[in-house]
Amino acid sequence: MAQLWGGRFTKATDQLVYDFNASITFDKRMIFQDICGSMAHVRMLAKQGILTGEDRDAIITGLAGIYRDVTDGKLTITTEYEDVHSFCEAVLTERIGDAGKRLHTGRSRNDQVALDMRLYVRGQIAETDTCLTEVLTTLQDLMEKNVHTVMPGFTHLQKAQPLTLAHHLGTYFEMFRRDRERLADCKKRLNLCPLGAGALAGTTYPLDREYTATLLGFDGATRNSMDSVSDRDYLLEYLFILSVIAMHLSRFSEEIILWNSNEYRFVEIDDTYSTGSSIMPQKKNPDIAELLRGKTGRVYGSLMGLLTTMKGLPLAYNKDMQEDKEQAFDAMDTVNGCLKLFDGMLSSMKFNETRMRESASAGFTNATDAADYLVGKGIPFRDAHRYVGEMVLACIEKGCGLEDLTLEEFKAICPATEEDIYPAISLETCVDKRLTKGAPGPEAMAEELRSGSEYLKAVPPLSDPLTGLWESLSRTGD
Ligand code: ARG
């Protein structure tokens, strides 16, 4: 047990209590963020004359060494320490002596952990954004290839109107594009530095909080010091975004599972993304798509878990807030992993154009167009709707499609019908004439594709600013 406190205690902590209280097993993943934060802190302390340049350089060199040794596997982060913050400070002091004990001047673990978490989430947001961009690029590519791939569109899982694969995929393009916008928006509120808020009420040292913020790539320092240490809204926002992404992936996976079924056969998931059965030799199961759908539950769970943890907390820091980590880390790992898997599954999947077209031509998907045709002959839409309903009934009795009725049969139901009904209700017409903005017709689709490709060029994925700052944070001198 190596603790950062103990002066006012007369008895040692019970081992069970120690383990219950400790967070090192899961917060050790923030070591890079913790060390960068400490480097920025001592740079600022030295600039303000609170620490000597000599101490600053000893601390920075010591911290860089710790980070190097941990990544090289020469130094192990063990449960002997309460959390990642204690680990760094204790090892530093062991290595460099008294200067190490000066690191925590004007700082509390409360603002330190608030900082580490913001830095960590900022990096994860960039990771999610990169994964989303890859999925969007795959979608854009598939859409460009499938502007003329006709398939049925569904409502209530019943065939509704014909559309194209490009148009169907375009729906998911919009969803993931909005997810990226949400991430960028979340980053704006997150990107303020809480360091210097102290335990809750700031500090009497003349800290330059804006300077620390700049060193760490933040847009500025947070305002109210109590809010700085007790705010986890940015994390909740991120968990909400992850939940929405998981929901989008789940809807898409659900469709892929249906499309891949023996009944639909619209797609075939590649062997590399399928699994077999231990008993039924013929089976090729969409387990990966099912897991992508199933993982959604735990991501929602993380969001609900943290919302519930936060709901009754008085100001400012309470240890309950340590519970922000495990579930949130799980949600980030889950969604970022799912996005990568999903991208691989989507880009290796085969689309069966013939089956999609066959399916679109059955099931009266051209019924709306038949009604619109009658409207063109001067019949009010409500009457046209009824006529076509009767035509569909006649087809069901005859066991054929609308386009298979003879002109006499059409005329017997609605005398205004002419020979030109046949081209008017062909699948091509049904799709190609749908040219309102956002519709599946080829010109409308071309516009959508243009906007998609411009968007992908104009908005590159977010990156983690901290990676690029290591150089300037870890050097010695001013
Ligand atoms: N492990 C703690 C957390 O994750 C660090 C902050 C501890 N602060 C304290 N006052 N006990 O929240």
pLDDT tens, position by position, for the chain (478 residues)?
667 777 888 888 889 999 999 999 999 999 999 999 999 999 999 999 999 999 999 999 999 999 999 999 999 999 999 999 999 999 999 999 999 999 999 999 999 999 999 999 999 999 999 999 999 999 999 999 999 999 999 999 999 999 999 999 999 999 999 999 999 999 999 999 999 999 999 999 999 999 999 999 999 999 999 999 999 999 999 999 999 999 999 999 999 999 999 999 999 999 999 888 888 888 889 999 999 999 999 999 999 999 999 999 999 999 999 999 999 999 999 999 999 999 999 999 999 999 999 999 999 999 999 999 999 999 999 999 999 999 999 999 999 999 999 999 999 999 999 999 999 999 999 999 999 999 999 999 999 999 999 999 999 999 999 999 999 999 999 9
Q: Is 317 in the pocket of ligand 1 (CB under 6 A)?
A: yes
Q: Is 172 in the pocket of ligand 1 (CB under 6 A)?
A: no
Q: Is 83 in the pocket of ligand 1 (CB under 6 A)?
A: yes
First to last CA, the chain: 36
Sign of the C-alpha dihedral computed for residues 262, 264, 265 and 267 taken in this order: negative
Active site residue 277: yes
CA pair distance 356, 149, nearest whole angstrom: 8
- Hey, what domains does the chain have and what are their CATH numbers? 15-105 (1.10.275.10), 110-197+227-358 (1.20.200.10), 367-425 (1.10.40.30)
Q: By the 8 A CB rule, do 30 and 463 touch? A: no
CA pair distance 175, 249, nearest whole angstrom: 10
CA pair distance 466, 128, nearest whole angstrom: 16
Question: What would the DSSP string read from start to end of 37-102?
Answer: HHHHHHHHHHHTTSS-HHHHHHHHHHHHHHHHHHHTTSS---TTBSSHHHHHHHHHHHHHTHHHHT
Q: How far is the CA of 27 from the centre of ligand 1 (A)?
A: 10
Q: Is 110 in the pocket of ligand 1 (CB under 6 A)?
A: yes
Q: How far is the CA of 322 from the centre of ligand 1 (A)?
A: 6
Q: Is 109 in the pocket of ligand 1 (CB under 6 A)?
A: yes
Longest dimension (CA), the chain: 102
CA pair distance 186, 47, nearest whole angstrom: 32
CA pair distance 438, 451, nearest whole angstrom: 11
89-148 tens-digit pLDDT: 999 999 999 999 999 999 999 999 999 999 999 999 999 999 999 999 999 999 999 999
The structure tokens 């735990």 sit at: 298
Q: Is 230 in the pocket of ligand 1 (CB under 6 A)?
A: no
Task: Report which of 237, 236, 232 is spatially closest to residue 110, judged by C-alpha positions.
Answer: 232
Annotated active-site residue in 23, 41, 85, 156: 156
Q: By the 8 A CB rule, do 228 and 114 touch? A: yes
Active site residue 385: no
Q: By the 8 A CB rule, do 98 and 10 touch? A: no
Q: Using DSSP, how many helices (H) and how many strands (E) does the chain show?
A: 22, 4
Pairing between strand 150-155 and 350-351?
A: unpaired
CA pair distance 214, 220, nearest whole angstrom: 7
401: phi then psi, degrees, rounded to nearest 5? -95, 170
Q: By the 8 A CB rule, do 102 and 92 touch? A: no
Q: Is 322 in the pocket of ligand 1 (CB under 6 A)?
A: yes
Structure tokens at 310: 């936060």
Q: By the 8 A CB rule, do 97 and 126 touch? A: no
CA pair distance 300, 289, nearest whole angstrom: 18
Structure tokens at 179: 């997810």
Annotated active-site residue in 41, 228, 277, 348: 277
| Alpha carbon distances (Å) from 48 to 215, 223, 419 | 14, 20, 88
| Alpha carbon distances (Å) from 65 to 51, 58, 101 | 20, 11, 17
Q: How far is the CA of 66 from the centre of ligand 1 (A)?
A: 21
CA pair distance 266, 355, nearest whole angstrom: 6
CA pair distance 237, 66, nearest whole angstrom: 33
Q: Kindly report the number of other CB atoms within 10 A of residue 239's CB atom.
A: 27
Residue 164's SS3 state is strand
Q: How far is the CA of 112 from the centre of ligand 1 (A)?
A: 9
The answer, yes or no, to whether the previous bond of 166 is cis (omega within 30 of 0) is no
271-299 tens-digit pLDDT: 999 888 888 888 889 999 999 999 999 99
Q: How far is the CA of 239 from the centre of ligand 1 (A)?
A: 21
Structure tokens at 305: 């878990």
299-329 tens-digit pLDDT: 999 999 999 999 999 999 999 999 999 999 9
